[in-house]
Amino acid sequence: MPVIKVEMFSGRSDDKKRALAKAITDSFVEICGGKPTSVHVIFDDVAKSDWAVGGELCSDLYPDQPATAEK
Amino acid sequence: MPVIKVEMFSGRSDDKKRALAKAITDSFVEICGGKPTSVHVIFDDVAKSDWAVGGELCSDLYPDQPATAEK
Amino acid sequence: MPVIKVEMFSGRSDDKKRALAKAITDSFVEICGGKPTSVHVIFDDVAKSDWAVGGELCSDLYPDQPATAEK
Amino acid sequence: MPVIKVEMFSGRSDDKKRALAKAITDSFVEICGGKPTSVHVIFDDVAKSDWAVGGELCSDLYPDQPATAEK
Amino acid sequence: MPVIKVEMFSGRSDDKKRALAKAITDSFVEICGGKPTSVHVIFDDVAKSDWAVGGELCSDLYPDQPATAEK
Amino acid sequence: MPVIKVEMFSGRSDDKKRALAKAITDSFVEICGGKPTSVHVIFDDVAKSDWAVGGELCSDLYPDQPATAEK
């Protein structure tokens, strides 16, 4: 039954999402019980220009380098 | 006042969203009362690669056929 | 797959939620396809004092009468 | 700690989001306390065709003029 | 049309919510346009034991003092 | 930056939430990078009577036994 929504900066690959979905699902089942197939993980990619911290857009705080600095 | 958020696989047409918004709004007003104009329905299209069930991405579980198999 | 979140004023009975969940699920399946058992409807009861419109709390705009005026 | 999610019609510029993030953050800190750097504001741009009011899509209710009429 | 959801630690008074709803609504209208009555602000009070940062529950990180230390 | 919202049936203890928050945070940092302290995990306990699957409330589908059957 759990629905787990992950809001994060856009740019992560499907492989990273695959690995993260698997890890979150396994952790949930191990800790809280239930069947893996009842665990939904939904990724919401948010552009840095749509996420502000301390009143500043993250696109200003952490501008993307040519090759993305942050994994 | 209700805000009804529909998270579903992307790919449904505006016509389907039109019909679904109307049906959900009518049901809400009929069952819970209130005015239709106070009912907000917001659609959030989610790519299959952003939705995991059982630790697997739905793009892997239900790959899109050339003509989308799933309505 | 759809997850449909209904944010509404608190106070509706389980019977109303039962009827609304059924109506929303049937509409989704009829219009968008898929199986009923893949449709999740989650109700989020919000106190009027936690919902503001036009900068005013709904508990001030629509104070509850002794017997709740609004269905 | 607060996470403030702003769901609004798409089309607002980064400058507007910058100004709104700053204003919301300042108001939160002034009224509720805490540090600005603990305030997260996340913008979710919603297409008018994904937002229905009164059972009608806003793209039908408020079609975009050639130069968007609504700020 | 905007729906602005504020997730914050529980414990703030209705007066604080009144003031914050007014400030957020005024800022939105001033910066992004639209009518105040179309702005919805929804507060979601989250217990510190339901909010984790750095893998630790905030109820452990910031235990409530007899008179709540954090405004 | 990530905000990870976990919507699940109510009834899990703080210890389970502690363990799940730690596991999710560690997985995120290991797979996607970033600092643990930038990872927010928010738990949203949902009553079975507020969660419907297949048009039926989970309180009807999975009534709680005297000692909760489901971990």
Indicate yes or no: CB of D4 within 8 angstroms of CB of E4: yes
Indicate yes or no: CB of A53 within 8 angstroms of CB of D37: yes
Contacts of E67 (CB under 8 A, 6+ apart): none
Range with the poorest average pLDDT among A41-45, C67-71, D3-7, F17-21: C67-71
Can you point out the beta strands (E) in chain B? 3-9, 40-46, 51-53, 56-57
10 Å CB burial of residue B26 (0-12, 13-18, 19+) is middle
> pLDDT (tens digit, 9 = 90+) per residue, D15-32?
999 999 999 999 999 999
User: What is the enclosing helix (H) or strand (E) of C7?
Assistant: strand C3-9
Chain F residues within 8 A of D39 when measuring between CB atoms: none
In angstroms, the CA B41 to CA B22 distance is 9
> In degrees rounded to 5, what are phi and psi of residue F59?
-70, -25
Percent of chain E exceeding pLDDT 90 equals 87
Averaged over A4-31, what is the pLDDT?
A: 98
Chain F residues within 8 A of D40 when measuring between CB atoms: 1, 3, 40
In angstroms, the CA F16 to CA F22 distance is 10
| Chain F residue with minimum CA distance to D2 | F40
What DSSP letter does each residue of B51-65 carry, written as one string? EEETTEEHHHHSPPP
Task: Compare B33 and E71 and report the one with higher pLDDT.
Answer: B33
> pLDDT (tens digit, 9 = 90+) per residue, D21-69?
999 999 999 999 999 999 999 999 999 999 999 999 999 999 987 765 5
Chain C residues within 8 A of F55 when measuring between CB atoms: 21-22, 24-26, 36, 39, 41
Q: What is the mean pLDDT of chain D?
A: 93
In angstroms, the CA B38 to CA B29 distance is 9
Q: How confident is the model at residue F1 (pLDDT cuts 50, 70, 90)?
A: confident
For residue E53, what are the β-bridge partners?
E56, F40
Percent of chain F exceeding pLDDT 90 equals 87
pLDDT of residue C39: 98
B7 touches D: beta carbon within 8 Å: no
Q: Are the C-beta atoms of residues B8 and B46 closer than 8 Å to each other?
A: yes
Q: Which two tokens stand for residue E42?
A: 């929804």
| Chain B residue with minimum CA distance to A35 | B54
| Homologous superfamily (CATH) for F3-61 | Macrophage Migration Inhibitory Factor (3.30.429.10)
Catalytic residues of F: 2
pLDDT at E65 over 90: no
Instruction: Give me the residues of chain C with pLDDT under 70, please.
Output: 67-71
Indicate yes or no: CB of C14 within 8 angstroms of CB of F49: yes
**Residue of B2, B36, B63, B66 marked catalytic:** B2
Chain C residues within 8 A of B70 when measuring between CB atoms: 33-34
Averaged over F36-62, what is the pLDDT?
A: 98
Let me know if chains D and F touch, i.e. at least 3 Cβ pairs under 8 angstroms: yes
Segment 29-58 of chain C within 8 Å of chain F by CB: 35-37, 39-45
Q: What is the mean pLDDT of chain F?
A: 93
Q: Could you give the ipTM of this predicted complex?
A: 0.92
Instruction: Give me the residues of chain B with pLDDT under 50, please.
Output: 70
pLDDT of residue D1: 82
pLDDT at F37 over 80: yes
Q: Has E2 been annotated as catalytic?
A: yes
Indicate yes or no: CB of F4 within 8 angstroms of CB of A3: no
Averaged over E15-40, what is the pLDDT?
A: 98
pLDDT of residue E67: 61
Let me know if chains F and A touch, i.e. at least 3 Cβ pairs under 8 angstroms: yes
